[in-house]
Amino acid sequence: MKIKELEDLYLHELKDLLGAETQVMEALPRMEKASTDPDLAESLAKHRAVTQEQINRLQD
């Protein structure tokens, strides 16, 4: 993608953020399952919900 305008840069960065959030979303369930600490597992589950909200916003 050739960046010619500020809007192009903005859209490029949003796509990068969406990719990063998607990767985190894929990893969180595995991390939650592998956790041996119930508090950590709960925190990861909450983070997964927040991450899904961020993905939804980025897709909009």
Please compute the mean of the pLDDT values over residues 39-49 and round it to a whole number. Answer: 96
CA gap 37, 60 in Å, rounded: 35
- On the question of pLDDT at 49 being above 90, the answer is yes
Is residue 1 very low, low, confident or very high in pLDDT (cuts 50, 70, 90)? low
48 φ/ψ sector (left φ>0, alpha ψ -120 to 50, else beta)? alpha
- List, for residues 3-25, the tens digit of each pLDDT value: 789 999 999 999 999 999 999 99
Global pTM reads: 0.81
